[in-house]
Amino acid sequence: DGAAPLRVMISGAPASGKGTQCEMIVEQYNLAHIATGDLLRAEVAAGTDAGKLAQDYMQKGQLVPNDVVVTMVKKKLSEAPNGWLLDGYPRSLTQAEALEALNIHPQIFILLEVPDEILVQRVVGRRLDPVTGKIYHLMYSPPETPEIAARLTQREDDTEEKVKLRLKTHSANVQSVIDIYKPVMKVVDGNRPKDQVFADIKNMIMELQGEPEKVNGCL
Ligand code: AP5
């Protein structure tokens, strides 16, 4: 069989396409998708203590305190025996160190690169389908039907002003995370159609597995 559980991290600036690529990766490889942004938004929506604490930081485009995020991620990882795809974590040296301390290491750290001015356009046009969780863009990835179009929502932090704050937070922290994962880092040009980006990522994952396509044919 040879298909050991995959351990994949995906990183990149706000709206670089992490969530979009994760949708495609998960469909292909059936990994547990652990997205700290999604987990935090769920906590906020549910009005939990963690959510109440996180909300303010998210509004300001700042990192939520580590203890909140690290606890969430550790729990999710322990529930993912068939491999995982970490999306948007770690975002700081402390968060990376928390995984290192647990002896949890990725086989690959994918960094999506997209110029800042493109990121802003992506953020303001992004919409989410609350029913399927799918990510859309009014221009680049429009909804398939009028019914879906009518129910799309927009994230509160998806304004030009707020994405600039998120970008600042990202640039202040990304290098310390790269320093840790450099040996397994793959930089991917994220400023291309999403299928092209995914084709590259798929090749990289296939290389990791050291075998061709059919790996998940039996699932
Ligand atoms: P999070 O939800 O992770 O937000 P983010 O990092 O800003 O990333 P996004 O979700 O905005 O973008 P994405 O890269 O997934 O892009 P997407 O695929 O949607 O985090 C939110 C907040 O939570 C943070 O600000 C922070 O406060 C907190 N938080 C999260 N993790 C944390 C952590 N570890 N520690 C502390 N705090 C944390 O694409 C964007 C748009 O572009 C879409 O409309 C999409 O359709 C379109 N698009 C995607 N790919 C393409 C393409 N190739 N071509 C054209 N359009 C494309």
* Residue 188 reports pLDDT greater than 60: yes
From residue 23, alpha-carbon distances to 31, 36, 52, 198 in Å are 10, 15, 28, 10
Residue 219: exposed, middle, or buried by beta-carbon count in 10 A (0-12, 13-18, 19+)?
exposed
ipTM score for this prediction: 0.97
Rounded mean pLDDT, 121-147? 97
Which ligand 1 atom is nearest residue 135's CA? 46
166 among known catalytic residues:
yes
pLDDT at residue 123 in the model: 97
| Active-site hit among 74, 134, 155, 202 | 155
Where helices occur in 7-133 by DSSP H, the ranges are 18-29, 36-46, 49-59, 66-78, 93-101, 116-125
Which region holds residue 210: left if phi is over 0, alpha if psi is between -120 and 50, else beta?
left
pLDDT at residue 4 in the model: 77
Separation between Cα atoms, residue 80 and residue 112, nearest integer Å:
24
- pLDDT digits over 69-85, tens only? 999 999 999 999 999 99
- pLDDT digits over 23-53, tens only? 999 999 999 999 999 999 999 999 999 999 9
- Give residues (CB < 6 A) around ligand 1: 12, 14-20, 36-37, 40, 57-58, 61-64, 69, 88-89, 91, 95, 122, 125-126, 135-137, 140-141, 166, 193-194, 197
**Residue 15 Cα, ligand 1 centroid: separation in angstroms?**
4
pLDDT at residue 41 in the model: 95
Residue 18 has, within 13 A of its CA and on its CB side, a CA count of 23
**Residue 35 Cα, ligand 1 centroid: separation in angstroms?**
9
Which pair of tokens denotes residue 211?
């075998």
18 among known catalytic residues:
yes
**Residue 1 Cα, ligand 1 centroid: separation in angstroms?**
35
Residue pair 26/126 in contact (Cβ under 8 Å)? The answer is no
Domains and CATH numbers, the chain: 6-216 (3.40.50.300)
**Residue 30 Cα, ligand 1 centroid: separation in angstroms?**
21
Residue pair 176/100 in contact (Cβ under 8 Å)? The answer is no
